[in-house]
Amino acid sequence: MKLGACYVAKDNELKPLREDAYFICNKEQTLDVVDGVGGWAAKGGEVGEYARQLMANVIIAVHEEYMLKRSVDLRRVLHETYFHTKVEGSLTSCILTFKASLLHAVNVRDNGFIVFRDAKLVC
């Protein structure tokens, strides 16, 4: 599976680091895209920091799976990252991994994905 991402930033001087984040691990064929929920800003929360800290924890969890020579268990990764993220916030997440010729996904809230094979929409 070819993995890639493109981030198109909005011009907003109040939020230079944005509320979204993503992670790609080509070696483990795993990616995660999160969209921070902006409503936390009204409560004084830093939504972007929550998204970035969660992604840093995803990197650690996927690396640990790799070092233990286990295939990536998406539920375990999300569980570990949630409990190790100390900043308050909420977000949507779509995490995918490709293993044994199968695409595995865990989708939290309203994120989603589509699959193209040979330039044709599969699902």
What pLDDT was estimated at residue 5?
75
The number of domains in the chain is: 1
Kindly state whether residue 14 falls inside one of the protein's structural domains: no
Tens digit of each residue's pLDDT (9 = 90 or more) over 3-33: 777 766 666 666 555 778 888 888 888 989 8
Kindly state whether residue 5 falls inside one of the protein's structural domains: no
Q: In Å, how far are 29, 103, 105, 106 from 74, measured between CA atoms?
A: 12, 11, 7, 7
Kindly state whether residue 10 falls inside one of the protein's structural domains: no
Cβ contact 87:53 at 8 Å: yes
Starting at the edge strand found earlier in the chain, the sheet holding 91-99 runs 20-25, 30-36, 91-99, 102-108
Which amino acid makes up residue 94?
C
Kindly state whether residue 9 falls inside one of the protein's structural domains: no
Q: What is the pTM assigned to this prediction?
A: 0.75
Domain that holds residue 116: 20-121
Kindly state whether residue 6 falls inside one of the protein's structural domains: no
Kindly state whether residue 114 falls inside one of the protein's structural domains: yes
**Residues 6+ positions from 120 with CB-CB distance below 8 Å:** none
- 57 pLDDT band, cuts 50/70/90, is very high
Kindly state whether residue 50 falls inside one of the protein's structural domains: yes
